[in-house]
Structure 1
Amino acid sequence: MAEAQRMLAEGSLRSSSERFVNRELSWVDFASRILELAADAREPALERAKFLAVLAQGMDEFFQVRVAGLKDQLLAQHPIRSPDGLDARAQLRAIRTRLEPVWERQSEVWHDGIRPALAALGIEIVAVEDLSPTLHRRLHERFLEELFPILTPLSVDPAHPFPYISNLSLNLAVRVRDSQGGELRFARVKVPTNVPRLFPLGDLRYCLVEDVIASFIARLFPGMIIEEVGTFRVTRNTDLVLEEGEADDLLELVETELRRRRFGRAVRLEVSSRMSRELVDVLVDELELHPDDVWATDMPIDGSFAWEIVALPIDEGRGIAAAGVTPSIFTVGDDGAGALFGRLAAGEVLVHHPYESFASTVEAFVRAAAADPDVLAIKQTLYRTSGDSAIVEALVEAAEAGKQVVVIIEVKARFDELANIAWARHLEEAGVHVVYGVVGLKTHLKAAMVVRREGARLVRYCHVGTGNYNARTARTYEDLGLFSADTVLGDDLAEVFNYLTGFSHPNRLRRVVLAPQQLRGWLLERIARERDRGPSGRIRFKVNSLVDPEIIDALYDASAAGTPVEGVVRGLCSARVGVEGLSEHLRIRSIVGSFLEHSRIYVFGQGPDADVAIASADLMQRNLDRRVELLIPLEAPATRARVEHILDLAFADDTYAWELTADGRWHRQRGGEGISLQRRLNDEAGARG
């Protein structure tokens, strides 16, 4: 930060890449915040285990996409530099340096913190060698009955090449020697994915399944001497490279690329810290990796096994339980499926998940549309949805009942491509008109529109949200959704759906703001307006990520003009704060808690004339320029006040909030009044329910 201050004094910071924080290193900072919660002894034990699982899952995605992309740039000798001026090689080195302490601390948190806290609840993860002789004998018998028949040792010799190691699979590397002598040989045993990681011993006691296999692995190699057994896992590049403009069939193109993904280049090798250097070298050579790609640990590889701990049927040791109340307007009565629409016609309704139930609001809306004989058509976008989607089944029922049903499915939604392809085919078989979006763009907006006959006219009922139509994630992701029968909104959404399904340009929109056509300009205009107001202006927002250079520069300009700028940024943040003359009026904080803060809120100005909006888009180049996104300004005073109340609590939180400071570090806010945004909103929802 001292360097940034020096450059500002020289007048060079505004034109220097130093004014941005590296996106990838910002993710490492976010990972540190998650780990801090996993390490916090004040958190319930199962909540700490959940944070460990979230961190492991996030790291997997980070390596599969972000690190893999940098390695692709390096191999292609691509001259691209990040906004902060680093090339791919420099970023990879910086990631290794910054991520190593986080990686190493995971182990400490597991062994010294979470594991003892779980034991206090009666949950024990024990080593096979620590079992009594009787239990050890029984475990061996169970191994032979339950695991041995499904295991396959794959040897490496002149007749058997090194086996393909699938992405994120857990494996045992084995070095064996013939009992009659001979050279050491390598073999690989894949840990089955169709058995739990937690192998039950009874009374909430478990062994890890890979430890069970390793302990009795000699049964797979009769007549051989086992010299060494080590656990390892490979992460591969999973980013799809699609040339949509040259494809006749997008579905077929995505399926082809998914098959290629299975054979993506290896980018990370996780190994047990007890694995010998010789065995690690074999894996590095065969996988064509660099020594810097090896990440050793003395905790169980793949911390996502902690999800199985979180799912154990015990009530103690958990965090906030979502209230999940049903707003009165959605209360089911005996007045038929169409009654809900009569209630929604009375005015806009804002719902807030998971404090308010997704099932009894959003799903109920689609189910009512499917069942109501006066509904003629349903149009909806699907980016990610759950495996037991009630919404999809309602859409199928609507189509089978003769309604016109159109669904825009984004088959390029990362890591959900296969599921979305399956949903697309299921819907098409039922007679739903399925569209795959706009060439070259991801359809990320979340919107549904129901067309209903009411007397001599047709009325459009709309839902626009910040989160996916996914019942599973809606229980843990914080999101907002707006229901409205507003005529202007209905007209606008009709234009948007026609744009997504046909050949049109949505240039007559009066209320909603669409990306990539208008959203960037809309945001920059309002930032500039508040900048021109100086200290009497105000900019507030809540997003998942703030990394777009043009938006950050505009916020810097507003701050330099004296305009207060406040942002809640859960994850990535490339902005600097507190730099005199650049960002001393810019305040950024992050809230990481029991629920994943996912809603996007934008407020420009103060009082009744302020622009208050919710959106599907973050402040990222991909959202503003390469995705179809939707922002909707809120009009009803009660709705606007409720959204501003959420922001007020977010900036008052001193329990699960981190503040970004001028030294570029994130500092946990503790020891104040004990305000928790999530707990307060949950309590308020419970009181309303």
Structure 2
Amino acid sequence: MVDLDASDNYFNREIGQLQFNYRVLKQALDTTHPLINRLIFCCIFSSNMDEFFEIRVAGLRQQMKYGRETVGVDGLIPEQALAEISRVAHEYIQEQYNILNDVLIPEMEREGIHFVRRREWTPAQAEWVRNYFEDEILPVVSPIGLDPSHPFPRLVNKSLNFIVELEGKDAFGRETGLAIVPAPRSLPRLVRLPDEVCAGGENLVFLSSMIHAHTDELFPGMKVKGCYQFRLTRNADLELEDDLEDLASALRGELLSRRFGDGVRLEVADNCPEELTQFLLTEFGLTERDLYRVHGPVNLTRLMAVGGLVDRPDLTYSAFSPSIPKQIRSRDSMFDSISKRPILLLHPFENFSPVVDLLRQAAKDPHVLAIRQTLYRTGADSEIVEALADAARRGKEVTAVIELRARFSEAENLELASRLQEAGVIVVYGVVGYKTHAKMILVVRREEGRLRRYVHLGTGNYHAGNARLYTDYSFMTCDESIGDDVNKLFQQLTGMGKALKIKKLFHAPFTLHSRLLELIEGEAELGNQGRLIFKFNSLTEPQLIKALYRASQAGVKIDLIIRGICCLRPGVPGLSENIRVRSIIGRFLEHTRVYYFGSSGRPQVYCSSADGMERNLLNRVEVAFPIEDPDLVARLREDLDTYLADNCQSWELQSDGNYVQNQPAEGEERLASQLVLLERLAGKP
């Protein structure tokens, strides 16, 4: 009998996250993507790694710092996990710079896009750079000499800095030998040289090169012996107590500290002398394990600016127009459309505008009495926010449940809350200790003498920008039971009292976890007649994994489409030989969550805001909603089958923990699931 609790049956979640980041990086080598977008994938890898160190590595270090080590289901203690993270991350980051220097930059050169290095500047370019330095950089840069009255400065998280070796005495007779130059955060890290000083093409120069070239002007009369880039990544996780009296005020205070948390990673230029590198490590309380020597800029994320600096549409993705289903196009009123039959949209292939239109029409409709909405990430200047504010100004009862602790969107959400309150919206900050991650809109409308509820439920955020980049489902219905369920959930979020009985929805932290386990067990009872297809961003929750193992042992065929972390080990005889795990990486960020239960030919299908993680199923406010219309169920199955048939943008997780990219068999046609969905739903881009 296989021991389901054995640590060998589980992969480490941090390594799983690193592997996802690596799959993103490998897109930079995929020539089916346009060249500038390949560069952007390289930058996204950097951004993902920044967040990984800021949150995941920082969390493990905090456990060790305060003696609160916990052992994951994989059996690794924090010290072991950090050692393995360091080994894998160093390997991946080395490969990233190899891709940048040996592949992407040469290919961009061949396309006439030049990153002009200092040694390559013509006299005219050097003169232009000097003028730019004197006019734009010198007035705002603040060099800091290190001496007893000028201790090492407190540097902002992820900021670009230089450590400078000096020789000689300054005007006060000081001879310290070292200085720090923080690059002004207000200036772009990449600047386009004007055409008149270039021989053709698109010519870009790094801010770091301009500062490096003119460091001596920052220390007049002294000799600059060396100038080297470095960048410190800090702990950026926020720690808030559960018994706060004022969450918004406490969060404002914590946001200030995020910029100056404990150091977790040091990146330095690989030409930085060993003694200076060791000086920096000591200053930040880090070790060799936390040091990353890089051959190139230490802030690659800023290379995303290339897309906006050069005019080369032939080197970026073709534009496409998301479609609007005929059911909506044929009617002026969203209420009429929804009342005819429920609507299911798959963004970005189908337009996000109907969701905005629902709120806009609700704001203006004299028959609408109330609007309630959860907001996790949306943007303070979004059309949705404007519609809510407009509804409140028109005298409707508008309530917004804003999750202030949406990671890295906290400041924006504080601004959003203030703006809505000024318009007369009732703003609630959810439940302390449980992030409100559910995506819900409830519109109450008077029709023919009675009240009717219209509902939007989604797998993603109410953010129009994300809806162009992330795949997410939007579901709109006026089903009475679902409307009643959503109303009760808003009552729980805004008021107080016992958990109310919910008819159709599964909701965390109360019923979602238990109902998922029950439905998986139901499939297991069907044996080899059972069928499960789950699509998550991540799967880490041990009880859910054990339930899937038991279903596999019973003969159920299981497909898991998991973009990021998967702690389940597939393909193990006697444990998980009936489980296949794949990750889809492409133009769009896969973000939909779908739970498909075959139920012996009578499928039950749910979409959800929740991943298969402890935090989602047990410690957040989440919703899973049923798709009951037979045509929509068939459509969802078709979408899932498209992902399962992908043979070029999909990666298979092996039983040893490695991912292998799928390739078309000999004579087999390439099938990229996202391109198929684009052609099917939006028309060929």
TM-score, with structure 1 as normaliser: 0.95
Deviations 1:210-232, CA, capped at 9 Å, x for gaps: 11111111111101110110111
2:192 to 191, 194, 200: 200
CA 115–410 in structure 1, closer or farther in 2 if over 3 Å, else same: same
CA 546–155 in structure 1, closer or farther in 2 if over 3 Å, else same: same
SS class of match (2:526)? helix
Deviations 1:138-171, CA, capped at 9 Å, x for gaps: 2112211122111111111011111001111111
SS class of match (1:478)? strand
- Is 1:389 equivalent to 2:399 in the alignment? no
1:122 to 97, 112, 130: 112
**For the residues of structure 2 that align with 1:532 and 1:485, how far apart are their CA atoms?**
34
SS class of match (2:138)? helix
Deviations 1:612-660, CA, capped at 9 Å, x for gaps: 1100000000000100000001111111111111110000001100011
- Is 1:250 equivalent to 2:244 in the alignment? no
Corresponding residue for 2:323?
Answer: 325
After TM superposition, give the deviation of residue 42 of structure 1 in Å.
4.0
- Trace 1:6-17 onto structure 2 (pairs within 5 A): 13-17=3-7
Does structure 1 conserve the Cα–Cα contact (< 8 Å) formed by 2:320 and 2:684? no
Does structure 2 conserve the Cα–Cα contact (< 8 Å) formed by 1:386 and 1:472? no
**For the residues of structure 2 that align with 1:449 and 1:140, how far apart are their CA atoms?**
58
Does structure 2 conserve the Cα–Cα contact (< 8 Å) formed by 1:479 and 1:598? yes
**For the residues of structure 1 that align with 2:674 and 2:630, how far apart are their CA atoms?**
23
SS class of match (2:334)? helix
**For the residues of structure 1 that align with 2:145 and 2:23, how far apart are their CA atoms?**
42
**For the residues of structure 2 that align with 1:223 and 1:608, how far apart are their CA atoms?**
83
**For the residues of structure 1 that align with 2:27 and 2:275, how far apart are their CA atoms?**
37
Q: State how many pairs are aligned.
A: 673
- Is 1:347 equivalent to 2:341 in the alignment? yes
**Partner AA of 1:625 in structure 2:** L
- Is 1:283 equivalent to 2:273 in the alignment? no
- Is 1:161 equivalent to 2:157 in the alignment? no
SS class of match (2:315)? coil
**Partner AA of 1:510 in structure 2:** K
**Partner AA of 1:207 in structure 2:** V
**For the residues of structure 1 that align with 2:29 and 2:74, how far apart are their CA atoms?**
31
Corresponding residue for 1:232?
Answer: 230
**For the residues of structure 2 that align with 1:391 and 1:122, how far apart are their CA atoms?**
41
**For the residues of structure 2 that align with 1:158 and 1:606, how far apart are their CA atoms?**
73
Higher mean C-alpha displacement, 396-405 vs 379-388? 379-388
**C-alpha root-mean-square deviation of aligned residues, in Å?**
1.7
Corresponding residue for 1:620?
Answer: 613
SS class of match (1:274)? coil
- Is 1:189 equivalent to 2:186 in the alignment? no
- Trace 1:167-566 onto structure 2 (pairs within 5 A): 167-178=157-168, 183-202=175-194, 203-245=201-243, 247-312=244-309, 313-319=311-317, 321-331=319-329, 339-358=333-352, 360-566=353-559
**For the residues of structure 2 that align with 1:468 and 1:311, how far apart are their CA atoms?**
25
**For the residues of structure 2 that align with 1:507 and 1:116, how far apart are their CA atoms?**
62
- Is 1:675 equivalent to 2:665 in the alignment? no
**For the residues of structure 2 that align with 1:367 and 1:187, how far apart are their CA atoms?**
56
**For the residues of structure 2 that align with 1:368 and 1:347, how far apart are their CA atoms?**
18
After TM superposition, give the deviation of residue 452 of structure 1 in Å.
1.1
Does structure 2 conserve the Cα–Cα contact (< 8 Å) formed by 1:244 and 1:250? no
Higher mean C-alpha displacement, 209-218 vs 112-121? 112-121
Corresponding residue for 2:198?
Answer: none
Does structure 2 conserve the Cα–Cα contact (< 8 Å) formed by 1:588 and 1:659? yes
After TM superposition, give the deviation of residue 237 of structure 1 in Å.
0.6
Does structure 1 conserve the Cα–Cα contact (< 8 Å) formed by 2:507 and 2:621? yes
1:97 to 87, 91, 100: 87
**Partner AA of 2:143 in structure 1:** P
Deviations 1:93-125, CA, capped at 9 Å, x for gaps: 010111211010011100111112222332211
1:579 to 555, 572, 576: 572
After TM superposition, give the deviation of residue 322 of structure 1 in Å.
4.4
Deviations 1:434-491, CA, capped at 9 Å, x for gaps: 0001121000000101111112111111100000001111110000010111111111
SS class of match (1:674)? coil
Does structure 2 conserve the Cα–Cα contact (< 8 Å) formed by 1:38 and 1:109? yes
SS class of match (1:470)? coil
Corresponding residue for 2:197?
Answer: none
Corresponding residue for 1:5?
Answer: none
**Partner AA of 1:216 in structure 2:** H
- Trace 1:659-670 onto structure 2 (pairs within 5 A): 659-670=652-663
Corresponding residue for 1:650?
Answer: 643
**Partner AA of 2:450 in structure 1:** R
Corresponding residue for 1:7?
Answer: none
CA 508–243 in structure 1, closer or farther in 2 if over 3 Å, else same: same
**For the residues of structure 2 that align with 1:320 and 1:665, how far apart are their CA atoms?**
33
**Partner AA of 2:117 in structure 1:** A
Higher mean C-alpha displacement, 531-540 vs 290-299? 290-299
**For the residues of structure 2 that align with 1:439 and 1:322, how far apart are their CA atoms?**
41
**For the residues of structure 2 that align with 1:332 and 1:380, how far apart are their CA atoms?**
27
**For the residues of structure 2 that align with 1:328 and 1:195, how far apart are their CA atoms?**
47
Does structure 1 conserve the Cα–Cα contact (< 8 Å) formed by 2:380 and 2:415? no
- Quick one: percent identity of the two aligned structures? 39
**For the residues of structure 1 that align with 2:68 and 2:138, how far apart are their CA atoms?**
48
Corresponding residue for 1:3?
Answer: none
After TM superposition, give the deviation of residue 255 of structure 1 in Å.
1.4
Q: Which runs of 5+ in 1 are unaligned?
A: 1-10
**For the residues of structure 2 that align with 1:102 and 1:322, how far apart are their CA atoms?**
33
**Partner AA of 1:221 in structure 2:** F
After TM superposition, give the deviation of residue 198 of structure 1 in Å.
1.3
